[in-house]
Amino acid sequence: MATLNIPRSRKDAEALDLDDPVQDARKAFALPEGVIYLDGHSLGPATHAALKRVQEAAGKEWANGLIRSWNDARWIDLPATVGSRLAGLLGAQPDEIIVCDSVSVNLFKLAAAAMKLAGTRTIIVEESEFPTDQYVAEGLAGISGATLKRVGEDKGIDALRRESAVLIKSVVNYRTARIADIAAHEDAAKAGGGVVVWDLSHAAGAIDLDLTASGAWMAAGCTYKFLNGGPGAPAYVFVRGDLAVKLESPISGWMGHARPFAFDAGYTPRLGVARFASGTPGILSLAALDGALAAFDGVDMRMAAAKAQRLGDMVVARAQTLGLEVISPVDAAQRGGHVSVRHAEGYAVVQALIARGVIADFRAPDAMRFGVSPLFVRYVDVWDAMDALGDVLASGVWDTTEFKKRAAVT
Amino acid sequence: MATLNIPRSRKDAEALDLDDPVQDARKAFALPEGVIYLDGHSLGPATHAALKRVQEAAGKEWANGLIRSWNDARWIDLPATVGSRLAGLLGAQPDEIIVCDSVSVNLFKLAAAAMKLAGTRTIIVEESEFPTDQYVAEGLAGISGATLKRVGEDKGIDALRRESAVLIKSVVNYRTARIADIAAHEDAAKAGGGVVVWDLSHAAGAIDLDLTASGAWMAAGCTYKFLNGGPGAPAYVFVRGDLAVKLESPISGWMGHARPFAFDAGYTPRLGVARFASGTPGILSLAALDGALAAFDGVDMRMAAAKAQRLGDMVVARAQTLGLEVISPVDAAQRGGHVSVRHAEGYAVVQALIARGVIADFRAPDAMRFGVSPLFVRYVDVWDAMDALGDVLASGVWDTTEFKKRAAVT
């Protein structure tokens, strides 16, 4: 293991915070007192702007503007305008992204469109993929008569080279945080005549993405993790500009129609990525997301991503010192915005941490995940959180009934 | 035309308001001053409870509770608990409804599941059907290889008798407000071995629905019209209790999985209608809907529907007096919660009305729609609105450039 450039003391950590080029971003967040929040990879915290924006959308635009706000408050344009705000964070063009539906629904639409584009009837998904991606692939295979092939972790790229297929793949794996090589996968897809549908959920807002430079064709992602859009905030679809016109969304709802209010009998899709919109957009959730993205204004994502790597290095080093196995790549360049650490009783350990005000999470069967959202997590936060982890493990406090109860959502 | 039991003077209208058994419901609404709102069939107005609930969900549950609110604030249960609140309004059992996605996405899922259940490859949609229903049918036919048959207005029932097919049909037509006979269609579907997928969007909250007594099998609907859930509020899926277990949603996202947090590799659907959930629910929009439905607490839907009929009768009678053709059924028993009136320059007329504070809407090519949401529209409101309509038409003010401009959303 390479020597990690990490603080050796809390004082070192404080010094790093003072030097942090994105330190101002933290002011945007409405974080509660007494909490160290290392769960931004699951649900990002509220920002003041998001709270204000949703209140404005509800209390003014809806309550006073009523139906007129579809025009006057430009609700009708929000899926595209919020999409264009996301573009800078993903390395895409402003007109290549539309905000709509959930990741599950968007993966379904994109994978169906990709199969038609490539002329293939094969969908590939890796066994280590996030569950909903696997389930969606299964459902799509069922309705379309396609064949679903499950391959091992990181074996999708080989499968793409062997045959024309559609691979659904996360850029950052939810469990390991390992970053996939977008460009290499796109090359493999071209070689085999297939398409990759990327899931950016655990990547966007945590790593320095450049979809254009990486040659990505299509992607979907959620906005409630590192993008802080709010619980269940709407997802998005990215399609490379020149490709959109060749694609058909199987869920051809009226919001993807070229003239939704002309009430034509037949379906004519919009020219660009907006053809992947379907039903009426949820304005209150979209407004919260719109406000949330302001936290990224003026933030250099390369610097933010570099900070996340360094914060992650601190977790890695301390976990190893505590004798824990790190599931995530030790090399920060291969790791997203969270670090997974193995513990057979990880659920109980995480509950004991939460009781101390350090919020991390757990994924079955044995992964404790520590998220290091670079916009609001400080070096001292990670220092203190790792101190707490050491205390919890040393005290054995996790090994009590109180912390071993299982909850519905972990 | 039957003599309509309507007020003959504004004083009569005032008297009816004093006698109105659902008059208290209006207090729940946060209506702006100086507006008569006859557009609840397009976007219902905000209630105080909805505004409070969304602020609570954002400012407390999200900002302070963070990830813990999935359990502590029962976010994870909201799609089912809000669904159970809807049940009473639809004449369904509390566990037969799940709130999720949009109407477009839900119609797609239900129609796909219905085709599989009936073993048919034919989808029927009427030419007069709401556009997104037609477009969704077209897209579903495309991906599933089914045949799409378009039939004339109200000819779906005959088509159902002739062959095993899935008919997508609105209970209340968006343009005419004509109410379809659910039981008769269900009988036809049984005779032909097919299934009806009902769209309740323009019906729920305006007419006295009894899905169970009518023998309905499955339905979807929006919540932002007569249910006042907020702009783009989430939609819902209804499936008759004993049928759910036989159905497969083609969009098998993790929220429809029996154990979403077990992270199983294979898909096991939930037992009931919850299998039609897909991605992570949008909590802020769901919270607004949760609050909005409180306006229906203690309201007898038979009385509310009877009031809507009488308010509609007022629009019908006055429009006829003004020499306008009424598109909607004159018989209130066959009419939903809005009245459509034909005018070749209806767009401009509606704009002139809006400028006077009377908000109605327009649907291409020539339908002016006046919504009579029974929970907040008063008899005097309709009286005054029809006065304003008479004035606008008599003055010819609509026939100016100011009102003839076309906007993106009408």
Judging contacts by C-beta atoms under 8 Å, the chain B residues touching residue A36 are none
| Inter-chain touch A102–B101, beta carbons under 8 Å | yes
Judging contacts by C-beta atoms under 8 Å, the chain B residues touching residue A67 are 39, 42-43, 359, 361
Cβ(A257)–Cβ(A268) below 8 Å: yes
**Residue A29 designated active-site:** no
| Inter-chain touch A43–B266, beta carbons under 8 Å | no
Q: At CB < 8 A and 24+ separation, what contacts does A255-264 make?
A: A255/A79, A255/A100, A255/A279, A255/A280, A255/A281, A255/B104, A255/B132, A256/B135, A257/B131, A257/B135, A260/B131, A261/B364, A261/B408, A261/B409, A261/B410, A262/B364, A263/B131, A263/B363, A263/B364, A264/B131
Q: In what order do the strands lie in the sheet with A166-170?
A: A97-99, A236-239, A218-221, A195-199, A166-170, A122-126, A147-151
- Pairwise CA distance, residues A186 & A333, whole Å: 20
Residue of B nearest to A76 (CA): B409
How many other β-carbons are positioned within 10 Å of the β-carbon of residue B266?
A: 10
Query: In b/e form, how buried is each residue of A26-63, taking b as 16+ CB within 10 angstroms?
Result: bebbbbeeebbbbbbbbbbbbbebbbbbbbebbeebbb
**Residue B335 designated active-site:** no
What was the pLDDT predicted at A409?
Answer: 44
**Residue B225 designated active-site:** yes
Using alpha carbons only, give the angle A264, B221, A252 rounded to the nearest 5 degrees: 40
- Span A224-240, pLDDT tens digits: 999 999 999 999 999 99
| Inter-chain touch B282–A279, beta carbons under 8 Å | no
Q: Which among A137, A209, A200, A135 is positioned nearest to A173, based on CA atoms?
A: A200
Judging contacts by C-beta atoms under 8 Å, the chain A residues touching residue B142 are 248, 250, 252
Q: How does DSSP assign B29-63, residue by residue?
A: B-PPTT-EE--TTTSPPPBHHHHHHHHHIIIIIIT
Which H or E run contains B292?
A: helix B283-292
- Write the ipTM: 0.96
Arithmetic mean of pLDDT over chain A:
95
Distance, in angstroms, between B228 CA and closest chain A CA?
Answer: 11
**Residue A399 designated active-site:** no
Distance, in angstroms, between A361 CA and closest chain B CA?
Answer: 9
Judging contacts by C-beta atoms under 8 Å, the chain B residues touching residue A261 are 364, 408-410
Q: Above 80 in pLDDT, residue A246?
A: yes
**DSSP three-state, residue B216:** coil
| Inter-chain touch B39–A66, beta carbons under 8 Å | yes
- When scoring B106, B173, B280 by the number of chain A Cβ atoms within 10 A, the one with the most, hence best to mutate, is B280
HSE value, Cβ hemisphere, 13 Å, CA-based, for A179: 20
What was the pLDDT predicted at A14?
Answer: 97
- When scoring B78, B101, B102 by the number of chain A Cβ atoms within 10 A, the one with the most, hence best to mutate, is B102
Cβ(A256)–Cβ(A249) below 8 Å: yes
In degrees and rounded to multiples of 5, residue B326 shows phi and psi of -90, 120
| Inter-chain touch A253–B105, beta carbons under 8 Å | yes
Judging contacts by C-beta atoms under 8 Å, the chain A residues touching residue B61 are 231
Q: Which among A51, A83, A361, A383 is positioned nearest to A220, based on CA atoms?
A: A83
Structural domains in chain A? Answer: 10-30+299-404 (3.90.1150.10), 52-296 (3.40.640.10)
- Pairwise CA distance, residues A49 & A28, whole Å: 7
Q: Which among B305, B288, B80, B44 is positioned nearest to B172, based on CA atoms?
A: B305
Distance, in angstroms, between B269 CA and closest chain A CA?
Answer: 10
Mean pLDDT of A232-250: 97
Catalytic residue among A39, A101, A199, A313: A199
Catalytic residue among B175, B275, B369, B378: B369
Q: Confidence band (pLDDT; 50, 70, 90) for A337?
A: very high
Judging contacts by C-beta atoms under 8 Å, the chain B residues touching residue A256 are 135
What was the pLDDT predicted at A410?
Answer: 40
- Count of residues making up chain B: 410
| Inter-chain touch B230–A50, beta carbons under 8 Å | no
* Tens-digit pLDDT string for chain B (410 aa): 445 678 999 999 999 999 999 999 999 999 999 999 999 999 999 999 999 999 999 999 999 999 999 999 999 999 999 999 999 999 999 999 999 999 999 999 999 999 999 999 999 999 999 999 999 999 999 999 999 999 999 999 999 999 999 999 999 999 999 999 999 999 999 999 999 999 999 999 999 999 999 999 999 999 999 999 999 999 999 999 999 999 999 999 999 999 988 878 789 999 899 999 999 999 999 999 999 999 999 999 999 999 999 999 999 999 999 999 999 999 999 999 999 999 999 999 999 999 999 999 999 899 999 999 999 999 999 999 999 999 999 999 998 888 887 543 44
What was the pLDDT predicted at B406?
Answer: 58
Judging contacts by C-beta atoms under 8 Å, the chain B residues touching residue A250 are 108, 139-140, 142-143
Nearest CB to A288; choose among B58, B150, B265:
B58
Q: Above 60 in pLDDT, residue A2?
A: no
| Inter-chain touch A261–B408, beta carbons under 8 Å | yes
Catalytic residue among A37, A108, A130, A296: A130
Q: Above 50 in pLDDT, residue A293?
A: yes
In degrees and rounded to multiples of 5, residue B331 shows phi and psi of -75, 115
Structure-token pair, residue B342:
């034909």
Judging contacts by C-beta atoms under 8 Å, the chain A residues touching residue B284 are 54, 230-233, 284-285, 288
Please compute Rg for chain A using Cα positions: 22
Burial of B105 (0-12, 13-18, 19+ CB in 10 A): buried
Distance, in angstroms, between A296 CA and closest chain B CA?
Answer: 18
What was the pLDDT predicted at A181?
Answer: 98
Distance, in angstroms, between A3 CA and closest chain B CA?
Answer: 34
- Pairwise CA distance, residues A117 & A121, whole Å: 11
What was the pLDDT predicted at B407?
Answer: 47
| Inter-chain touch B251–A284, beta carbons under 8 Å | no
What was the pLDDT predicted at B404?
Answer: 83
Location of structure tokens 């990505």: A216
What was the pLDDT predicted at B5?
Answer: 74
- Span B299-343, pLDDT tens digits: 999 999 999 999 999 999 999 999 999 999 999 999 999 999 999
- Measured over the CA atoms of residue B169, residue B170, residue B171 and residue B173, the dihedral's sign is negative
Q: Above 80 in pLDDT, residue A408?
A: no
Distance, in angstroms, between B85 CA and closest chain A CA?
Answer: 20
Q: Above 90 in pLDDT, residue A404?
A: no
Q: Above 50 in pLDDT, residue A171?
A: yes
Judging contacts by C-beta atoms under 8 Å, the chain A residues touching residue B39 are 66-67
| Inter-chain touch B132–A409, beta carbons under 8 Å | no
Structure-token pair, residue B76:
């994870």
- Span B140-194, pLDDT tens digits: 999 999 999 999 999 999 999 999 999 999 999 999 999 999 999 999 999 999 9
Structure-token pair, residue A392:
């919890």
- Pairwise CA distance, residues B330 & B312, whole Å: 9
| Inter-chain touch A233–B282, beta carbons under 8 Å | yes
Counting one residue from chain A and one from chain B, the pairs whose CB atoms sit within 8 A come to 291
What was the pLDDT predicted at A4?
Answer: 60
What are residue B198's DSSP bridge partners? B169, B219
| Inter-chain touch B364–A262, beta carbons under 8 Å | yes
Task: Give the contacts of B264 (CB within 8 A, at least 6 positions apart).
Answer: A131, B257
Task: Give the contacts of B333 (CB within 8 A, at least 6 positions apart).
Answer: B179, B309
What was the pLDDT predicted at A407?
Answer: 47
| Inter-chain touch A144–B144, beta carbons under 8 Å | yes
Amino acid present at A66 = L
| Inter-chain touch B46–A32, beta carbons under 8 Å | no
What was the pLDDT predicted at A406?
Answer: 58
- When scoring B104, B227, B350, B354 by the number of chain A Cβ atoms within 10 A, the one with the most, hence best to mutate, is B104
Which H or E run contains B13?
A: helix B10-19
**Residue A199 designated active-site:** yes
| Inter-chain touch A233–B136, beta carbons under 8 Å | no
Q: Which among B2, B3, B4 is positioned nearest to B314, based on CA atoms?
A: B4
HSE value, Cβ hemisphere, 13 Å, CA-based, for B406: 8
Judging contacts by C-beta atoms under 8 Å, the chain B residues touching residue A59 are 46, 51, 55
